[in-house]
Homo-oligomer: A and B are copies of this chain.
Amino acid sequence: MDTEPLRIAVVLFEGFELLDVFGPVQLLQAVPEIAVVFAGPDGEPVASSQGVEVVPTISYGQIELADVLLVPGGKGTRRLVGDESFLSWLREVGAQAPWVASVCTGSAVLAAAGLLEGYAATSNKRAFAWASSFGVSVTWKPKARWVQDRNRWTSSGVAAGMDMTVALIAELISEAAAVDAANFAEYEPHRDCEWDPFARINGLVPSSGDKAERGDVTFGQSDDAHGR
C-alpha cells in the first residue's frame, strides 16, 4: 500500500464490554487499509467488564490523527459519564476526529461529552432510558441496529457493533472490503440499520408484527417464555 492506512483508535477504560471492542476489531483488522490502535488511560493493562485484561498499544495522551474514534460500552461507562477530566479529553479528541463511533452505552459517554449535540443516535436497549438521559439536543432512536448521522455512528448493544462496523467499512473503504471482512469471520451481518428486535424485547416499542422483525419471532417467544 502506498497510502497511509485509515487509523482507528479504540478507547479502552476499566469496565469496557469485551464484544463491544473485539467484535468490531475482528472485522476492522481484516481490512488491509485499516490500522487499529488501542488507547488506555496510561498504557497499563485495562480490565474489561468481564474481568479479563487487555494491553493497550498507546495511552490516551498518544491518540492523535485518529481517523475514527471508537468508544465501546460496558459497566465502566456509568463512572465515565461523571468523570469531567475524561469527558474533557474525549471532547477534544472527538472534535478533531473525522469520524466518531460508539458501541452500546459508549453513546452515553459521547453524549455526556457533548459529542452528539444536534445528532441522532442510539444505544444499548436494556440501558436505553439511562443512556438517553445524556446530551441536550440528541435525537435518541429507540429502534435502530445502528444510527449514522453524518460523521457520527452509534450502535445498539454489544453485538450490534459488528453490524455497524460492516456498514462503516462499506462507507469508509468499500462494499467489497465489508463483505470480505464479514465472510472472513464467517459472520452474516444485518445490513438493515432499522432491524432491531431488541427494541421490542426490551419494551421500547410495541410489537409491530412487521415483516422486518419476522426473523426473530421464534427467538422472541423463547425469551417471553421465561420472563423478561
Binding site for B on A (CB under 8 A): 17-19, 21-23, 25-26, 29, 36, 38, 45, 50-55, 57, 124-126, 156-160, 162, 175-176, 179-180, 182-191, 197-198, 201, 215-216, 218-219, 222-223, 225-226, 228
Question: In the complex, which residue of chain B has the Cβ closest to the Cβ of A182?
Answer: B219
Partner of A55, one of B29, B52, B57, B228: B52
Assess whether A198 is in contact with B219, with CB atoms less than 8 Å apart: no
Given A52-B54, A54-B55, A186-B160, also A179-B17 (CB < 8 A): no
Residues from chain B with a CB closer than 8 A to the CB of A57 are 51-52
Q: Could you name 15 residue pairs across A and B whose Cβ atoms are closer than 8 Å?
A: A19-B26, A29-B50, A36-B52, A38-B52, A45-B45, A158-B184, A175-B226, A176-B225, A176-B226, A180-B226, A183-B228, A186-B198, A188-B197, A188-B216, A215-B215
Assess whether B176 is in contact with A158, with CB atoms less than 8 Å apart: no
Assess whether A185 is in contact with B201, with CB atoms less than 8 Å apart: no
Assess whether A184 is in contact with B126, with CB atoms less than 8 Å apart: yes
Copies of this protein in the complex: 2
Residues from chain B with a CB closer than 8 A to the CB of A26 are 17-19, 50, 158
Given A18-B22, A52-B55, also A158-B187 (CB < 8 A): yes
Question: In the complex, which residue of chain B has the Cβ closest to the Cβ of A186?
Answer: B157
Question: Complex: how many Å from CA A22 to CA B22?
Answer: 7
Residues from chain B with a CB closer than 8 A to the CB of A124 are 186
Given A25-B18, A29-B50, A176-B226, also A185-B157 (CB < 8 A): yes
